[in-house]
């Protein structure tokens, strides 16, 4: 099976081809080793960092931005979004504070300071 | 009148990086003026990740990138006046600003302009039809959603495949909206590939190239848009018109440097970049006034904004310490396949290497750039591909530069 | 119970209310939209026409000749911005057009218009260097000017309200019934008001309001005019208002500075379905750009910041219709007020008041009447020193909300409080210019919404762009 991908590791956007099955994947078109790893990951277990917002309950119309501290499986994006949407925090919040833990092996952390 | 060595207008990524660089060059009396309640500029609403890989070596979200610079500013004790809007700058480097305490006049040894840019509005795009609620520039919707927690619509069409448009397609999808289409007037997207993959392809959102929004419908709230393909002259092809019901239209059709203060100071503007004409120190034609970041030229990556701001910050510090840069200058000019070159003017005998930044006119495959002064080749560079959405940088060595007697032209040939 | 009910809070109804407020009368303006000046009054050329154009002997000729100086005087009193910039009416080399210029000059003399002169193309270009080299003969109309039509309306109604007049918005008149000496005017919402006299100033809808009392002797012909407004960078391209010689479709495409410093181009003249057909069209906007370039070739249409369309309330006679109703006593129609209606708003109001007097309305002057309105733009007209002192007393004026037009939080709050109060985003825009500039509200809109929500004590989700269901926000996340 052959898959065509565009590498997203850097803005260069190499066009990658992946051939083979299971463990034996051959990547071409990559300009660097990161591209090869990306192609293999994308074909075997694609992951994404989810970024969103969480309401700050004790401030008027204030949201704190959050992210998954590490990428999560791509197919779990909407499940994670459900959990993020249900979450609330109270200010003050410091960037890096854990908002949700145990999210597919990682956590959701704040990315902004709310005084 | 208040006096400071350097006044930085704007506390976004450009202004903060310029202030830090000037301070580190030994000019510690720096003040940053920002109209918002907190510094960081537009990054504060850009909650997505992808910032900082080039500059800081780690992948950050917008607020984190801004915070990294804010911390550096605080560490140095650089003064920041928030909720302070600059209303005028004059050629004598007197900066007039306004805040809740009154009108502020500051006499500056040097000024760094870092006001950023704004989005092209519906009016500037001349989209015909009605004028209902629900038509947003993408950044306005981004602010309402990401900073204030208000949802702007459920069924969305996005015009323009610039990065903000792509990011907002994903953002709206995450918050439960259905993005019906992203339309792009040009035959190619202006956005980064990673954004096309992660914001559209991941969610099956269609991208229609050579397509525009021809009409807007709905009296009170938006009810739908007519989209249509365009021909090579970007004119609507009537028979391709198609109605898409939607309650929200987001516009992401380009950014325009906000140079009202620059014009007010009488500083010449480059009609192509819509930013000031500058030299390699990012000094404008008015001595002691520098410009950097998106007010100078619209960048694709904030990392490069920071790079450019450091050049301007150092330039401003040198101006305060040593006065204006003297010596011979030559102009730079875009040649074949190149839309613009920045800086537009270069001192040839400064003894320093100079990087030229440029954008190409259309997407190309393998190309070679040649930097020439008359018949003298100053530098060449090859690229596997080149696109208008990605800024190119070519460095000219100081010894080569010293030989430049005539205007410097950058052109490309397709390999 | 009111003495006078005015249907329609455009510039005509608004100025009538203002002129009537001099007398000891209870007045109420009834407006179907969420704000005043929502029809043709917010989307027209904003020109004070010299008066050379109307056929001698018509009501338009009479009221235009009287109206110009009256308008300037009232504008001064109520702080409605205007500028006497003069206008040019240009022929472009053809004998027919040049003959028209001479004819307009003669007609202007006959209408009693002062300050008219004919210039050669070169003489005109000496005054207006950007004028096309093709302009060959030019009527110079020195008494002409520019005003902001919606600010004129807001100011007139604000002054009327300060003097005790009432304004009911979202009051779409559905029926007018007369029982004895008393009218009952009922809105679509079911709300009703009673009054002794009714004046129909319903603009594009004047024929429908007339039909409510059985009058069908005129029919409004809605004709749309599309415009493009350019950035202030283009605002000094010309100093005069540049017309082309008029044709049967109207006064043609003009190029004019605005009182706010922008450049305005337009209008087209196209028959449309109804008075609410205010959509712009690709053909219309193309025509504006093409025809404007005929007068001023150097206009840079890359500097367009917005386009819009207004619908003229025309009628086949070509003249204003200002007369008592046929179907019922004590009602006056003020209809078919197309160009030069804005110029004539004060003279029309005074003329209408005479008709009301003839119908029996008692006009007892009020001793406490105040001709002036608090200047809503006092802050922006201050020097830096004055601003500094003012901000120290009123800190909200120090916080800039609209960066393109330099509008402060204080000015926006003032517009939401001052008569007639701004109730929506567009209302704030028309009163303060917040969102009127080059970014078209991209940066300031969320902030303006918050100020409206705060001042009016409502939720952000209910703040509208221009009333009804025009809410930009659909809910909280």
How many domains does chain C divide into?
3
Interface of B with C in 61-90 (CB under 8 A): 83, 85, 87
CA distance B109 to chain A (A): 33
For residue C60, give the CATH number of its domain: 3.50.50.60
With CB atoms and an 8 Å threshold, state whether B197 touches A61.
no
Same domain membership, residue C282 and residue C184: no
Any C CB within 8 A of A53 CB: yes
Classify residue C320 by its DSSP letter: -
CA angle centred on C413, ends C411 and C417, rounded to 5°: 115
Same domain membership, residue C151 and residue C24: yes
Nearest chain B residue to A96 by CA distance is B64
pLDDT in tens, B265-292: 999 999 999 999 999 999 999 999 999 9
The H or E element spanning position A38 is helix A33-44
| C404 inside domain | yes
- Which CATH fold would you assign to the domain A51-110? CPE0013-like fold (3.10.530)
Any A CB within 8 A of C477 CB: yes
User: Residue B234 region, left (φ>0) first, then alpha (ψ -120 to 50), else beta?
Assistant: left
Residue A28, both tokens: 């071409």
Q: How far apart are CA C416 and CA C422, in angstroms?
A: 5
Domain encompassing residue C281:
87-142+223-307
With CB atoms and an 8 Å threshold, state whether C460 touches A61.
yes
3-state secondary structure of C470: coil
CA angle centred on C206, ends C205 and C209, rounded to 5°: 90
End-of-domain residue from the set C307, C325, C349: C307
Using omega within 30 degrees of 0 as the cis cutoff, is the peptide bond preceding C420 cis? yes
Using omega within 30 degrees of 0 as the cis cutoff, is the peptide bond preceding C5 cis? no
| C476 inside domain | no
pLDDT in tens, B195-217: 898 999 999 999 999 999 999 99
Considering only CB atoms, A52 lies closest to which of B60, B63, B174, namely: B174
Contacts of B188 in chain A (CB under 8 A): none
Same domain membership, residue C365 and residue C398: no
Interface of C with A in 451-470 (CB under 8 A): 460
With CB atoms and an 8 Å threshold, state whether B133 touches C470.
yes
Q: What pLDDT is stored for residue B125 in this prediction?
A: 86
CA angle centred on B318, ends B314 and B323, rounded to 5°: 150
**B289 contacts B265 by C-beta, under 8 angstroms:** yes
Which of A61-75, B380-394, C74-88 is predicted least confidently?
B380-394
| C468 inside domain | no
Residue B235, both tokens: 């004119």
Same domain membership, residue C101 and residue C58: no
Same domain membership, residue C278 and residue C411: no
Any C CB within 8 A of B247 CB: yes
With CB atoms and an 8 Å threshold, state whether C477 touches A61.
no
pTM: 0.94
Write the burial class of residue B182 (CB in 10 Å: 0-12 exposed, 13-18 middle, 19+ buried).
Answer: buried
Considering only CB atoms, B103 lies closest to which of C388, C443, C477, namely: C388
CA distance B251 to chain A (A): 21
Considering only CB atoms, B103 lies closest to which of C285, C384, C467, namely: C384
Place of tokens 């915070």: B67
Interface of C with A in 413-452 (CB under 8 A): 450
Considering only CB atoms, B64 lies closest to which of A9, A62, A111, namely: A111
Same domain membership, residue C159 and residue C24: yes
| C473 inside domain | no
pLDDT in tens, B313-337: 999 999 999 999 989 999 999 999 9
Any C CB within 8 A of B123 CB: yes
Q: What pLDDT is stored for residue C249 in this prediction?
A: 61
Contacts of B119 in chain C (CB under 8 A): 439, 442
Contacts of A66 in chain B (CB under 8 A): 47
Q: How far apart are CA B217 and CA B253, in angstroms?
A: 19
3-state helix/strand/coil string of chain B: CEEEEEEEECCCHHHHHHHHHHHHCCCCCEEEECCCCCCCHHHHHCCCEEECCCCCCCCEEHHHHHHHHHHHHHHHCCEEECCCEEEEECCCCEEEEEECCEEEEEEEEEEEECCCEEECCHHHHCCEECCCECEEEHHHHHHHHHCCCEECCCEEEEECCCHHHHHHHHHHHHCCCEEEEEECCCCCCCCCHHHHHHHHHHHCCCEECCEEEEEEECCCECCEEEEEEECCCCCECHHHCEEEECCEEEECCCEEECCHHHHHCCCCECCCCCCECCCCCCECCCCCEEECHHHCCCCCCHHHHHHHHHHHHHHHHHHHHHCCCCCCEEEEEECCCEEEEECCEEECCCCCCEEEEEEECCCECCEEEEEEECCEEEEEEEECCECCCCCEEEEECHHHHCCCCCCEEEEEEEC
Using omega within 30 degrees of 0 as the cis cutoff, is the peptide bond preceding A92 cis? yes
- The chains in contact with chain A, meaning 3 or more Cβ pairs closer than 8 Å, are B, C
Contacts of A9 in chain B (CB under 8 A): 194
Instruction: Give strand pairing partners of B330.
Output: B346
- The chains in contact with chain B, meaning 3 or more Cβ pairs closer than 8 Å, are A, C
Q: How far apart are CA B219 and CA B296, in angstroms?
A: 39
CA distance B110 to chain A (A): 32
Place of tokens 């990011």: B167
Residue A83, both tokens: 């959990």
With CB atoms and an 8 Å threshold, state whether C464 touches B236.
no
Place of tokens 């109605």: B243
Considering only CB atoms, B63 lies closest to which of A9, A31, A112, namely: A112
Write the burial class of residue C38 (CB in 10 Å: 0-12 exposed, 13-18 middle, 19+ buried).
Answer: buried
Q: How far apart are CA B218 and CA A96, in angstroms?
A: 44
CA angle centred on C121, ends C118 and C127, rounded to 5°: 80
Using omega within 30 degrees of 0 as the cis cutoff, is the peptide bond preceding C370 cis? no
Among B166, B189, B181, B323, smallest CA distance to B248 is for B181
What's the ipTM?
A: 0.93
Same domain membership, residue C278 and residue C240: yes
Q: How far apart are CA B80 and CA B7, in angstroms?
A: 10
Classify residue A71 by its DSSP letter: -
Same domain membership, residue C69 and residue C150: yes
**C225 contacts C266 by C-beta, under 8 angstroms:** yes
| C378 inside domain | no
Place of tokens 């003017």: B345
The H or E element spanning position C304 is strand C304-314
Q: What pLDDT is stored for residue A9 in this prediction?
A: 78
Above 90 in pLDDT, residue A79? yes
Q: How far apart are CA C36 and CA C24, in angstroms?
A: 23
Considering only CB atoms, B63 lies closest to which of A9, A31, A111, namely: A111
Cα B210 to the center of its chain, rounded Å: 24
With CB atoms and an 8 Å threshold, state whether C439 touches B121.
yes
Nearest chain C residue to B250 by CA distance is C442
Any C CB within 8 A of A63 CB: yes
Considering only CB atoms, B149 lies closest to which of A6, A63, A81, namely: A63
Within 10 angstroms of residue A13's Cβ, the number of other Cβ atoms is 20
CA distance C393 to chain B (A): 9
Same domain membership, residue C51 and residue C40: yes
Any C CB within 8 A of B263 CB: yes
Contacts of B214 in chain C (CB under 8 A): 282
For C348-382, give the DSSP string. HHHHHHHHHHHHT----B-TT-------TTTTTTS
Q: What pLDDT is stored for residue C475 in this prediction?
A: 94
Confirm whether C377 is a catalytic residue. Answer: no
Contacts of A61 in chain C (CB under 8 A): 450, 460
Q: What pLDDT is stored for residue C248 in this prediction?
A: 67
Among B286, B282, B252, B277, smallest CA distance to B95 is for B286
The answer for residues whose C-beta is within 8 angstroms of residue C2's C-beta and 6 or more apart is C26, C27, C28, C166, C193, C194, C195, C196
pLDDT in tens, B43-96: 999 999 989 988 999 999 999 999 999 999 999 999 999 999 999 999 999 999
User: Residue B200 region, left (φ>0) first, then alpha (ψ -120 to 50), else beta?
Assistant: alpha
End-of-domain residue from the set C324, C347, C373: C373
The H or E element spanning position C401 is strand C400-402
Q: How far apart are CA C293 and CA C254, in angstroms?
A: 10
Above 90 in pLDDT, residue A21? no
Domains along the sequence of chain B with CATH? 1-119+255-325 (3.50.50.60), 121-253 (3.50.50.60), 327-415 (2.60.40)
With CB atoms and an 8 Å threshold, state whether A85 touches C477.
yes
Considering only CB atoms, A67 lies closest to which of B61, B174, B384, namely: B61
Q: How far apart are CA C334 and CA C20, in angstroms?
A: 15
Contacts of B123 in chain C (CB under 8 A): 229, 304-307, 440
Above 80 in pLDDT, residue A22? no
| C154 inside domain | yes
End-of-domain residue from the set C250, C281, C307: C307
Pairing of the two strands C166-168 and C27-30: parallel
| C103 inside domain | yes
Q: How far apart are CA A39 and CA C363, in angstroms?
A: 86
Domain ranges (residues) in chain A: 2-44, 51-110
With CB atoms and an 8 Å threshold, state whether C460 touches A55.
no
For C94-128, give the DSSP string. -HHHHHHHHHHHHHHHHTT-SSEEEEEHHHHHHH-
With CB atoms and an 8 Å threshold, state whether B152 touches C473.
yes
| C275 inside domain | yes
- The chains in contact with chain C, meaning 3 or more Cβ pairs closer than 8 Å, are A, B
CA distance B355 to chain C (A): 31
Per-residue pLDDT of chain C (477 residues; tens, 9 = 90+): 999 999 999 999 999 999 999 999 999 999 999 999 999 999 999 999 999 999 999 999 999 999 999 999 999 999 999 999 999 999 999 999 999 999 999 999 999 999 999 999 999 999 999 999 999 999 999 999 999 999 999 999 999 999 999 999 999 999 999 999 999 999 999 999 999 999 999 999 999 999 999 999 999 999 999 999 999 989 999 999 999 998 766 678 999 999 999 999 999 999 999 999 999 999 999 999 999 999 999 999 989 999 999 999 999 999 999 999 999 999 999 999 999 999 999 999 999 999 999 999 999 999 999 999 999 999 999 999 999 999 999 999 999 999 989 999 999 999 999 999 999 999 999 999 999 888 888 889 999 999 999 999 999 999 999 999 999 999 999
With CB atoms and an 8 Å threshold, state whether C473 touches B149.
no
For C40-55, give the DSSP string. GGGSS--EE--S-SSP
Residue C155, both tokens: 């100011």
A·B CB contacts under 8 A: 77
Same domain membership, residue C177 and residue C122: no
């Amino acid at each position: 099976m052959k898959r065509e991908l565009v590498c997203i590791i850097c803005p260069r956007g190499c066009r990658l081809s992946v051939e083979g099955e299971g463990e034996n994947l051959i990547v071409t078109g990559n300009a660097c080793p990161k591209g090869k790893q990306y192609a293999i990951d994308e074909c075997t277990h694609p992951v994404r960092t989810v970024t969103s917002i969480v309401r700050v309950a004790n401030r008027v119309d204030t949201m704190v931005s959050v992210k998954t501290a590490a990428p999560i499986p791509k197919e779990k994006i909407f499940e994670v979004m459900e959990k993020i949407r249900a979450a609330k925090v109270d200010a003050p919040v410091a960037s890096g504070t854990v908002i949700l833990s145990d999210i597919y092996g990682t956590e959701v952390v704040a990315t902004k300071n709310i005084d | 009148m208040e006096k400071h060595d350097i006044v930085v207008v704007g506390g976004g990524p450009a202004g903060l990086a310029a202030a830090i660089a000037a301070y580190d060059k030994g000019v510690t009396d720096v003040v940053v003026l920002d109209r918002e309640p907190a510094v960081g500029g537009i990054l504060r609403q850009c909650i997505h990740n992808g910032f900082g890989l080039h500059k800081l070596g780690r992948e950050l979200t917008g607020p984190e990138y801004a915070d990294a610079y804010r911390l550096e500013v605080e560490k140095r004790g650089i003064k920041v006046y928030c909720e302070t809007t600059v209303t005028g700058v004059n050629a004598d480097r007197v900066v007039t600003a306004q805040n809740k305490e009154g009108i502020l006049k500051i006499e500056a040894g040097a000024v760094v302009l870092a006001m950023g840019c704004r989005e092209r509005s519906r009016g500037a795009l001349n989209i015909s039809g009605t004028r209902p609620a629900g038509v947003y520039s993408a950044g306005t919707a981004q602010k309402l959603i990401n900073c204030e927690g208000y949802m702007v619509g459920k069924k969305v069409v996005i015009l323009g495949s610039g990065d903000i448009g792509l990011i907002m397609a994903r953002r709206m999808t995450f918050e439960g909206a259905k993005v019906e289409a992203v339309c792009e007037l040009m035959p190619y997207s202006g956005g980064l590939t990673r954004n096309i993959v992660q914001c559209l392809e991941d969610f099956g959102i269609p991208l229609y190239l050579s397509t525009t929004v021809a009409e807007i419908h709905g009296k009170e709230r938006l009810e739908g848009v007519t989209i249509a393909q365009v021909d090579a002259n970007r004119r609507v092809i009537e028979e391709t018109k198609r109605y898409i019901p939607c309650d929200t239209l987001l516009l992401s059709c380009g950014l325009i440097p906000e140079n009202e203060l620059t014009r007010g100071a009488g500083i010449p503007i480059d009609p192509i970049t819509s930013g000031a004409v500058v030299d390699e120190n990012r000094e404008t034609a008015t001595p002691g006034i520098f410009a950097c970041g998106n007010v100078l030229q619209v960048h694709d990556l904030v990392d490069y904004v920071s790079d450019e701001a450091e050049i301007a910050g150092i330039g401003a510090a040198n101006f305060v310490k040593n006065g204006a840069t003297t010596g011979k200058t030559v102009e730079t000019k875009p040649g074949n396949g190149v839309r613009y070159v920045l800086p537009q003017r270069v001192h040839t005998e400064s003894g320093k290497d100079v990087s030229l930044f440029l954008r190409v006119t259309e997407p190309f495959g393998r190309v070679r750039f040649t930097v020439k002064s008359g018949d003298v080749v100053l530098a060449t560079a090859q690229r596997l591909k080149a696109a208008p959405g990605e800024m190119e940088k070519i460095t000219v060595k100081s010894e080569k530069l010293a030989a430049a007697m005539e205007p410097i032209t950058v052109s490309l040939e397709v390999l | 119970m009111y003495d006078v009910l005015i249907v329609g809070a455009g510039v005509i109804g608004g100025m009538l209310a203002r002129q009537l407020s001099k007398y000891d009368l209870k007045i109420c303006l009834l407006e179907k939209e969420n704000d005043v000046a929502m029809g043709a009054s917010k989307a027209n050329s904003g020109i004070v026409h010299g008066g050379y154009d109307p056929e001698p002997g018509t009501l338009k000729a009479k009221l235009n000749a009287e109206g110009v100086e009256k308008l300037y005087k009232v504008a001064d009193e109520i702080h409605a911005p205007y500028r006497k910039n003069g206008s040019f009416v240009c022929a472009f080399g053809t004998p027919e057009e040049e003959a028209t210029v001479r004819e307009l000059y003669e007609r202007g003399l006959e209408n009693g218009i002062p300050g008219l002169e004919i210039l050669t193309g070169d003489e005109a270009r000496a005054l207006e260097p950007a004028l096309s080299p093709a302009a060959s003969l030019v009527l110079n109309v020195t008494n002409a000017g520019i005003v902001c039509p919606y600010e004129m309306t807001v100011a007139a109604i604000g002054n009327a309200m300060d003097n005790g007049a009432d304004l009911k918005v979202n009051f779409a008149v559905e029926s007018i019934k007369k029982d004895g000496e008393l009218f009952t005017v009922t809105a679509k919402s079911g709300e009703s008001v009673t009054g002794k006299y009714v004046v129909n100033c319903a603009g594009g809808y004047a024929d429908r309001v007339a039909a409510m009392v059985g009058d069908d002797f005129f029919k409004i012909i809605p004709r749309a005019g599309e415009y493009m407004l350019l950035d202030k960078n283009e605002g000094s391209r010309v100093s005069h208002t540049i017309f082309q010689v008029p044709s049967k479709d109207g006064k043609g495409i003009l190029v004019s500075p605005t009182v706010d410093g922008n450049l305005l181009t337009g209008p087209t003249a196209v028959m449309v379905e109804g008075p609410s057909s205010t959509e712009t069209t690709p053909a219309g906007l193309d025509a504006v750009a093409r025809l404007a370039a005929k007068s001023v070739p150097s206009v840079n249409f890359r500097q367009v910041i917005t386009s819009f369309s207004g619908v003229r309330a025309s009628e086949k006679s070509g003249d204003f219709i200002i007369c008592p109703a046929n179907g019922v006593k004590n009602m006056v129609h003020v209809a078919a007020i197309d160009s030069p209606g804005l110029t004539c708003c004060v003279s029309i109001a005074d003329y209408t008041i005479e008709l009301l007097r003839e119908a029996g309305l008692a006009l007892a002057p009020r001793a406490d009447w105040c001709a002036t309105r608090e200047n809503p733009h006092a802050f922006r007209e201050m020097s830096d020193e004055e601003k500094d002192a003012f901000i120290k007393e009123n800190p909200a004026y120090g916080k800039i909300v609209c960066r393109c037009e330099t509008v402060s939080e204080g000015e926006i709050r003032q517009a939401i409080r001052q008569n007639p109060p701004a109730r929506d985003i567009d209302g704030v825009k028309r009163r303060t210019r917040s969102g009127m500039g080059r970014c078209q509200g991209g940066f300031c809109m969320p902030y303006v919404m918050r100020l409206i929500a705060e001042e009016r004590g409502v939720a952000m989700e209910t703040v509208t762009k221009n009333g009804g269901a025009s809410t930009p926000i659909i809910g909280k996340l």
